[in-house]
Amino acid sequence: MTNFQTLRGMPDLLPSQTECWQKVEDLARNHFLRAGLKEIRTPLLEQTELFNRGIGENTDVVGKEMYSFLDRGNRPCTLRPEGTASVVRAVIQNGLLNQGAQRLWYNGPMFRYERPQAGRQRQFHQIGVEFFGLSSVRSDAEIITIAWDFLNELGIQGLSLQINTLGTMDDRKKYRKELVTWLENVFDFLDEDSQRKLKSNPLRILDSKNPKIQEMLDEAPVLMDYLSNESEQRFLKLQSILSKLKIPFQLNLKLVRGLDYYCHTAFEIISDQLGAQATVCGGGRYDTLVEQLGGISTPSIGWAIGMERLLILLGDDFSTKTSTDVYIINRGEDVYINALVLAREIRLANFSVELDYSGSAISKQFKRANKSSASWVIILGENDLSNDEVRIKSLNTKHENIKQHISKITDINYIINIISL
């Protein structure tokens, strides 16, 4: 018999981990609710062309990371590698852009065929926020604030916010020419990846992970020097708002997000604890994308946080064990049905109940109850049943003075009253 294994880079999330995930997701939902955001859920599978156009053919994601295939009707499909393109498609398709500004969040699995390592998986999860129809620099500051405050609310230390501006398309055109000329002069010193990008996507070379390239680039022209006055003022304004909000930031003039449609604000939140996978949150303004995907021209900005990286940062101590209210000990052929009936009644009254299925000696079951996180234990023994009785004991030091209650098994109200203490 074959022992089936998960596909590489697509790990299971086990009960020991899901508590932590749920806590992060709960905090995120709550945080976004307070920020007035609405949730959107889009399908995992979309037309391949959406990502080709929405992310760009010259990006690593589209070029070599997508899970694409033909479905049984020969339609080219792709498992979503990120959330933005799908959300843009959804707001266009469903006419949400006619209903005023949209401030949305999403959460879910994404798929990229990459080399798996810590903080880099093939099925990974992103929580993201997108604003549509807001062009003012105030919205850039607000969306950054939402990410920054959420990460801080989780108690993560050692984060830094890096910001840059990519200016307008015109600013970038001027700069791109200068950069390409500079890069052509040092072509022989570039690595293979950067040489390839020089033709397809020269700005993305600035983003190279190769330290040698990064050192060289210190001498390269910077976009900042090619900005129009208007773009520069906008960027200065962002910095002044962030200072007002007391959100510390660093300028990173080499921060370019990979996609051609990004403009003005680009930002990342970096951790000093994650080695090569340092970026926890990446985002930027993308004012031309909606139009590019067939909608009406709509200024937009968004970010995405990688859940796996977040969970590495939070560590194992983050989850608070969910506690059970009641542990039911039961022994005897006829008793176990009564135990199940009782468990059901108590659950319907909104308490959590763990039912012992072992049939082992009461003392053994008691040991397990003590090890569980339950606050109360209810004991149904064979003899008890003949008296129509259950015993209720507290496992919680809070109720130490209460030794034991005896209740009629049918007197659910009495039982509920006790475990509500």
Cα(156)–Cα(162) distance, rounded to whole angstroms?
Answer: 16
User: Quick one: which of 259, 305, 278, 287 has its CA closest to 118?
Assistant: 278
Binding of residue 17 to ligand ATP (CB under 6 A)? no
Q: How far apart are CA 130 and CA 287, in angstroms?
A: 12
In the complex, residue closest to ligand ATP by CB: 306
- Measured from the CB atom, the residue of 124 and 235 that comes closer to ligand ATP is 124
Among 45, 50, 109, 114, binds ligand ATP (CB under 6 A): 114
295 binds ligand ATP, rule: CB under 6 A: no
How deeply is 224 buried, as exposed, middle or buried, from its count of CB atoms within 10 A (0-12, 13-18, 19+)? middle
Nearer to ligand ATP, 126 or 231 (CB): 126
Q: Does 112 bind ligand ATP (CB under 6 A)?
A: yes
293 counts as binding ligand ATP under rule CB under 6 A: no
Residues in the chain: 421
Cβ closer to ligand ATP: 118 or 296? Answer: 118
Residue with tokens 């970010």: 303
Task: Pick between residue 129 and residue 343 the one whose CB is nearest to ligand ATP.
Answer: 129
CA distance 204 to 202: 5
Q: Give dist(CA 300, CA 85) in Å, integer.
A: 12
164 lies in the binding site for ligand ATP (CB under 6 A):
no
Q: Does 126 bind ligand ATP (CB under 6 A)?
A: yes
Which of 304, 313, 342, 377 binds ligand ATP (CB under 6 A)? It is: 304
Q: Which stretch binds ligand ATP (CB under 6 A): 159-167, 279-287, 318-326, 388-396?
A: 279-287
User: Are the CB atoms for 45 and 77 separated by under 8 Å?
Assistant: yes
For residue 356, the tally of other CB atoms under 10 A from its CB is 23
Sole window of 33-41, 157-165, 232-240, 275-283 interacting with ligand ATP (rule: CB under 6 A) = 275-283
Residue 119: DSSP 8-state: T
Among 89, 172, 309, 393, binds ligand ATP (CB under 6 A): 309
Q: Is 89 in the site for ligand ATP (CB under 6 A)?
A: no
Piece of the chain touching ligand ATP by CB under 6 A; list 31-39, 303-311, 340-348, 411-419: 303-311
Q: Give the phi and the psi of residue 281 in degrees, each rounded to 5.
A: -135, 135
Query: Residue 124, interface with ligand ATP (CB under 6 A)?
Result: yes
331 to 350: interface string for ligand ATP, x by CB under 6 A: --------------------
d(CA 14, CA 319): 13
Q: Applying CB under 6 A, which of residues 48, 78, 107, 121 lies at the interface with ligand ATP?
A: 121
Choose which of 54, 56, 202, 282 interacts with ligand ATP (CB under 6 A).
Answer: 282
**Would you call 284 helix, strand, or coil by DSSP?**
strand
Nearer to ligand ATP, 82 or 325 (CB): 82
Nearer to ligand ATP, 23 or 120 (CB): 120
| Residue placing its CB nearer to ligand ATP in the complex, 126 or 300 | 126
Cβ neighbourhood burial of 285 (10 Å; 0-12, 13-18, 19+): buried
Ordered DSSP codes for 125-176: EEEEEEEES--SHHHHHHHHHHHHHHHHHTT--SEEEEEEE---HHHHHHHH
Compute the half-sphere exposure of residue 49: CA atoms within 13 Å on the CB side of its CA.
Answer: 5
Give the range of 89-97, 215-223, 240-248, 304-312 binding ligand ATP by CB under 6 A.
Answer: 304-312
Burial of 38 (0-12, 13-18, 19+ CB in 10 A): exposed
Give the residue with the Cβ less far from ligand ATP, 55 or 419.
Answer: 55
Q: Which stretch binds ligand ATP (CB under 6 A): 154-162, 230-238, 277-285, 401-409?
A: 277-285
- Integer Rg of the chain from CA: 28
Q: Which of residues 272 and 411 has its CB atom nearest to ligand ATP in the complex?
A: 272
Alpha carbons 418 and 96: distance in angstroms, whole number? 51
Query: Is the separation of the CB atoms in 50 and 89 below 8 Å?
Result: yes
Residue 45 parent element (H or E): strand 45-47
Size of the site for ligand ATP (CB under 6 A): 17
Among 306, 319, 329, 331, contact with ligand ATP (rule: CB under 6 A): 306
308 binds ligand ATP (CB under 6 A): yes
Residues forming contacts to ligand ATP in the complex (CB under 6 A) are 82, 112, 114, 119-121, 124, 126, 277, 279-282, 304, 306, 308-309
